[in-house]
Amino acid sequence: MTAYVSAFDLFSIGVGPSSSHTVGPMRAALDFAHRLSATGVLPQVARVGSTLYGSLGATGIGHGTPDAVVAGLRGLAPETCDPAEVRSAWTDFPPGGMLSIDGSHAVPFAKEDIVFAPRTRLPGHPNAMTLTAWTEDGSVLIEETYYSVGGGFIRRDGEDAKLTTAGFPYCYADAASLLALCDEHGLSIAELARLNETSVRSEEEVAAGLDAIWEAMSGCVDAGLHAEGVLPGILKVKRRAGVIRGQLEEVEADGHRELPGEWLGAFALAVNEENAAGGRVVTAPTNGAAGILPAVAMYWWRFLADSGLGAGNAVTPYGELVGSALLGFDATSPQGAVAEPDGVDEALVAEANRRRGIRRFLLTATALGSLFKANASISGAEGGCQAEVGSACAMAAGGLTAVMGGTNRQIENAAEIAMEHHLGLTCDPIGGLVQIPCIERNAIAASTAVTAARLALRGDGSHYVSLDAVVETMRQTGLDMSTKYKETSEGGLAVNVIEC
pLDDT tens, residue by residue, 459-498: 999 999 999 999 999 999 999 999 999 988 999 999 998 6
Residue-by-residue pLDDT tens, the chain, 500 positions = 799 999 999 999 999 999 999 999 999 999 999 999 999 999 999 999 999 999 999 999 989 999 999 999 999 999 999 999 998 899 999 999 999 999 999 999 999 999 999 999 999 999 999 999 999 999 999 999 999 998 899 999 988 766 655 679 999 999 999 999 999 999 999 999 999 999 999 999 999 999 999 999 999 999 999 999 999 999 999 999 999 999 999 998 887 777 899 999 999 999 999 999 999 999 999 999 999 999 999 999 999 998 754 443 433 333 333 333 343 323 333 334 445 455 567 788 888 999 999 999 999 999 999 999 999 999 998 999 999 999 999 999 999 999 999 999 999 999 999 999 999 999 999 998 999 999 999 999 999 999 999 999 999 999 999 999 999 999 999 999 999 999 889 999 999 986 54
pLDDT tens, residue by residue, 346-394: 788 888 999 999 999 999 999 999 999 999 999 998 999 999 999 999 9
The model's pTM is 0.88
* Phi, then psi, of 63 in degrees rounded to 5: -95, 0
Between CA 403 and CA 457 the distance in angstroms is 11
